[in-house]
Amino acid sequence: MHAELEREYVEYVTVHIGRMRRVAYLLCGDFDRADDIVQATVERLYLRWRQVRGAGNVDAYAHTVLVRTFLAERRRLWSRVSLMDEPPDRPAPAGQPADERIAVRAALRKLPRRQQAVLVLRFLCDLPVAEVFLVDPESGDEEVLAEAGFRPIVSPDGKLAIVFSGPVEVGDQGQDLTLGEGTLELRSWSAAGASADGATVVLDGVDTPFDARWDDGGTAFAVWVQDAADPSFGRLSLFFIDPDGKIVQPDNAPREEPALPGFSIGDGRLAWATPSGQGGEGSRVQIVAWTDEGVGTAETAPGDQVVVIR
């Protein structure tokens, strides 16, 4: 490496290695593994430093390499093995009560690694959405990491997920995500995330905010999509998964019913509030129930007489 490039590299690593180690620790929850991740990261940065310094956003590039190293770590069996006579005596990181750290780490470990990376970078490291992305070190192509974890709604048994597939635009302030036209798909789900193999389209042409929720049994789910012309309400639909894994909508199942934001689904019932003005009436609550025999007729009650827990 040219002397000037090496000087820039050493200066950058010296200033940022503490933050890299903190991010690595937040990702993996172990000091020794964090050190290994940081070591591999700075080695990769050194080998590609000429390309890195021309990336425009060196910090984002460095985060990319660090996150990719963390994501690839699961393939190294030795990274999960630690041999010692006694457990190491490590000081607790300052700034957060021990019980909170344990709860946060336990919650993060339940998520796929890409989801862990999104949450750590976006919330624990306080990066704006615009910086929560991956840059392919070889091609330089940017992949919005937040898009890869954009609201996947996983079924109760953890085998399926409703996933938005389409472009996600970052707002001017780097804080808001806006959907480009895409599809809501039902995909198989595992610890590695959603698989695109055999994906089934639930709704096409989705380009506004949406909400999707599963019933407790994991055989039914409802999807609400905001109306493009009037964002105060949206359209609600109920879907079922038959024994063959196919999406079906039986008779009486709500299909693009006008609904206010927020709905409740559980114990074989779906409840939602209609916008005022539907049929010349004020807002009302609709409740539909189903069993193995089919979907019943929706029942209606005045909105001021029913409380829906969302």
Note down pLDDT in tens along the chain; length 310 residues.
678 888 999 999 999 999 899 888 888 878 888 999 999 999 989 988 887 777 667 887 788 788 888 877 654 544 444 444 444 444 444 444 455 556 666 666 666 666 667 667 666 666 655 455 544 444 444 455 544 445 578 888 888 888 888 776 655 444 455 677 888 999 888 766 667 777 899 999 988 888 899 998 889 999 999 998 998 899 999 999 998 889 999 988 999 999 998 888 988 999 998 888 655 466 788 899 998 888 887 677 654 444 443 3
Q: By C-alpha distance, which of 202, 199, 238 is closest to 221?
A: 238
Q: By C-alpha distance, which of 76, 3, 81, 15 is closest to 42?
A: 15
The answer to whether the CB of 236 falls within 8 A of the CB of 272 is yes
Domain boundaries, the chain: 3-85+95-144, 151-305
**Could you tell me how far CA 309 lies from the centroid of its own chain?**
24
pTM of the model: 0.53
Q: In this structure, is the dihedral angle defined by the CA atoms of residues 250, 256, 258 and 261, taken in order, positive or negative? A: positive
The answer to whether the CB of 177 falls within 8 A of the CB of 146 is yes
Q: How many helices (H) and strands (E) does the chain have?
A: 7, 18
The answer to whether the CB of 257 falls within 8 A of the CB of 236 is yes
The amino acid occupying position 256 is E
The answer to whether the CB of 222 falls within 8 A of the CB of 241 is no
- 248, two tokens: 């079906």
Residues 6+ apart with CB under 8 A from 53: 5, 8
What pLDDT is stored for residue 148 in this prediction? 45
What pLDDT is stored for residue 255 in this prediction? 94
- 97, two tokens: 């009560």
Residues 6+ apart with CB under 8 A from 236: 222, 223, 224, 254, 256, 257, 258, 259, 263, 272
- Pinpoint the alpha helices (H) of 48-150: 49-53, 58-72, 98-109, 113-119, 145-148
End-to-end CA, the chain: 58
- 167, two tokens: 């472009």
Q: In this structure, is the dihedral angle defined by the CA atoms of residues 228, 234, 235 and 238, taken in order, positive or negative? A: positive
